Amino acid sequence: MAHRCDISKVSKQHGHRVSHAKNRRKHAFKGNIQIKKLFVPEENRSVTLKLSTRMIRTIDKIGLTATLKKFNLSLSDVAI
């Protein structure tokens, strides 16, 4: 299972953990991905999506269909 947001495609980034002595070691910073079940009133059904917390806030603010339109996606592109 990929650790990636279905809508915004947010995934992990690579960088370093830096100690007080400035020793650097490789580290992967993972996005905050949550599995969320959303109701789609247009189709009268629920869909399960893997979303970043930023996308969950955007969906709460403007709605799922408007968010998909903003990212040029359709529900069939992202639904499991």
What per-residue confidence (pLDDT) applies to 15? 96
Band the pLDDT of 61: cuts 50, 70, 90: very high
Say if pTM beats, i.e. exceeds, 0.95. no
User: What is d(CA 47, CA 26) in angstroms, rounded to the nearest whole number?
Assistant: 36
User: What is d(CA 1, CA 46) in angstroms, rounded to the nearest whole number?
Assistant: 21
What per-residue confidence (pLDDT) applies to 79? 79
> What CATH number was assigned to the domain covering residues 13-78?
2.30.170.40
What per-residue confidence (pLDDT) applies to 13? 93
* Cβ atoms of residues 30 and 44 within 8 Å: no
3-state secondary structure at position 11: coil
Domain ranges of the chain: 13-78
What per-residue confidence (pLDDT) applies to 36? 94
3-state secondary structure at position 25: strand
Q: What are residue 37's DSSP bridge partners? A: 48
